[in-house]
Amino acid sequence: MDKNRLLITGGSGLLGSNIARSAIREFDAYATYKDHESQIPGCHFLHMDILDRKEVFSTIKSIRPNLVIHTAGLVNVDYCEQHPSEAWEANVNGTVNVVEACREVDAKMIYISTNAVFDGARGMYCEEDRPHVLSVYAKTKLEGEIRVQRWLPESIVVRTAFYGWSLHNRNTLAEWVLKNLRHGKTIKMFTDAFFSPVLASNLAEALIEMYRQGLTGTYHVDGSERCSKYEFGRAIARIFKLDESNIEASSISESGLVAPRPRDISLDISKVSKAISTSLLGVEDGIAWFKSLENSLGERAKGKPIQSPMQAKGFIQYGRQWIDDEDIRAVVEVLRSEVITQGPKVEEFEKAIADYCETKYAVAVNSGTSALHIACLASGIKEGDEAITTPITFVASANCAAYCGAKPVFADINKQTYNISPNEMGKKITPQTRIVIPVHFAGQSCDMEIIHDIVRKAEEEYGHKIFILEDACHALGSLYKGERVGGCRFSDMVVMSFHPVKHVTSGEGGIVLTNDESLYKKLKLFRSHGITSDPDEFVNTALAFGSSGDESNPIVNPWYYEQLFLGHNYRITDIQCALGLSQLRKLDSFQRRRKEIVHRYNQAFQNIKHLQVPVESVNCESNLHLYVLRIDFTSLGIDRARFMLDLKDKGIQTQVHYIPVHLQPFYKNSYGTNWGDCPNAEHYYEECLSIPLYPAMTDLDIHRVITEIQTAVEGST
């Protein structure tokens, strides 16, 4: 199902950027900017001036969003007071443009208003209280509310006051306090100005849930505690361990501000708190989260992974990349160089992986799937041939054979390791078998020596070559019988992947390893259209060579190349390989952290009834790509989908690896596979659940995963 489309106006602002980061999980997110374009992975930024009616209508009609969150406007209170016509244009007329465009495409709107629509005479205002404005800014925001409610009655109006980390050096109140205190400066803050501020990332999550719940009308969405500006500043000082004495008490009357300021515009959030499950934090908890966001942003300088506010709060994915400043510098260096693709970094990366895996040759491509495909092409499999693989894998392990016209055949798995069973594989070999593709599931090597022996006996029996292609996309860094996976001791080729959830990433990318020079040459050709510029491989010599007068040393025509096979454009870039090289230097530390996490998980889960931890073969030292629990959901009376959704609601992502490939409609329709073909794999599928495992997990993350799963499982027994 397609995601709902979300458009955020003012997407480069403090609130807009936080909404974008939170929304990308469940929306196809778009954000507009006027002056400063931002870069938020997963969100599409585009220029839109809300005062340009034609541009507003064009943008909204082209995106056709389901939801528009309108944060754009003029928010400098004193500037609005001095320039009332500009304030009216931005906050009223600009809002009208967005509202009318929303009506055209039947989009719902969330309009971000302000707590300043009240005069501050008493504080803790509820939605039923009558607004009374003191400033031009407040008047224009209230007028915006009126337009939204009049023309979009199903909209949501949100009154709020928020703080957080801004993107473009526009210091918010909290940032201003922090900056000055860190420089030892004395600042004055009001003891007679009260509010109930909410952290922007906390507010963003609340807004998304409000839409999800189908709310309409006006809501106060603020923090759960009232405080003075002075108390707010001192709380920042305490939590950041700075000198509170540098904050001096002051009064609004002493400020010299241009626009009148209400004294108490704290909001009562009872209504929204009953409607959504998102907790709106108080001052201390909100600032503590604010500090964690700064720590996350500061990880760049410390060589630690960069986290979004969602991750800083604690949403734990099942797997993700670790990118630090070293990686970024490596990529930037290539971007600033003369060559960004088909250059020296590709060969450097290939050599680094080959050296690490102790193999002779490596051919890097743009994905693990492409690597599997060219490996099958190099083996020469074709229509009428058969390829044996496991059903517990991603579909690419079988698709690569189907791409070549061969028939994928599935052999059942070992009940303990979840890898292909060598005995079951042996039973599937026929005179048509030309390749076997064992998959090192979750990082644990298949029993390659036994597989090798079975295949060699079959070759003798049927009188032809049967290639062995190891799908080691999970297994960079794993050991089999003391040797690194990838060395091709028991196989013809090995394929690896560098997708972001793998041990190291190049963004997307893959590689084929081999010790066979003839295969290596074919792999290079199939990677790049089947084209060669090597004179030793040219066939049409009359076209290739000019008449130099020296028959023993003819001149190669400098423009000449030949296509020898029907290949593909599967080339990888120097940009990707630079990232891969930088990542490879951290592989050992990544593996150590994975082992620590797995040890914690094993200790926590091994004695829980109806739950089975992974088993590691005596012949293998796994790099621990995935941590898969077997949970007897039937005995526990738990629905797996509900179990996963409940964990997601608690901030923990899980996954199922994998739906058996032979049950996919394409394979059932094309090759007649069906339920019952691989009973071990099918039973495994009914019970498997991959839980979070990646090096950037903190000890607190690990504890949360363990606690929530223990509570869910033990609570059902």
Residues designated catalytic: 502
CA 296/CA 717 separation, integer angstroms: 39
Query: Cα 440 vs. chain centroid, distance in angstroms?
Result: 24
The three-state secondary structure class of 342 is coil
**Most distant CA pair in the chain, distance:** 101
CA 588/CA 253 separation, integer angstroms: 61
The three-state secondary structure class of 481 is coil
**Are the beta carbons of 371 and 396 closer than 8 angstroms?**
no
Cis peptide before 658 (omega within 30 of 0): yes
- Residue matched to tokens 């999800």: 212
Amino acid at 397: S
**Sign of the torsion formed by the C-alpha atoms of 666, 669, 675 and 677:** negative
Number of residues that make up the chain: 717
Give alpha helix (H) positions in 94-161: 94-105, 136-151
What the block records as the tokens of 272 is 């929204």
Q: Which residues contact 51 (CB under 8 A, 6 or more apart)?
A: 89, 90, 93, 94, 97
The DSSP bridge partners found for residue 8 are: 31, 69
Buried b (16+ CB within 10 A) or exposed e, 656-681: bbbebbbbbeebeeeeebeeebbebb
What the block records as the tokens of 267 is 């909001």
What the block records as the tokens of 653 is 């992502």
Query: Residue 670 to residues 241, 552, 574, 662, 667: CA-CA distances in angstroms?
Result: 66, 55, 38, 10, 5
User: Residue 491 class from Cβ within 10 Å (0-12 exposed, 13-18 middle, 19+ buried)?
Assistant: buried
Q: 461 φ, ψ to 5°? A: -70, -40
First to last CA, the chain: 35
- Residue matched to tokens 């939170």: 22
| DSSP state at residue 93 | I
DSSP assignment of 651-670: TB--B-----GGGSHHHHHH
CA 48/CA 99 separation, integer angstroms: 14
| DSSP state at residue 572 | P
Q: Which long-range contacts (CB under 8 A, 24 or more apart) does 529-538 make?
A: 529/563, 529/567, 529/568, 529/569, 530/563, 530/564, 530/565, 530/566, 530/567, 531/561, 531/562, 531/563, 531/564, 531/567, 532/561, 532/562, 532/564, 533/560, 533/561, 537/562, 537/564, 538/562
The three-state secondary structure class of 416 is coil
E-strand ranges in 227-360 read: 227-228, 247-250
**Are the beta carbons of 526 and 567 closer than 8 angstroms?**
yes
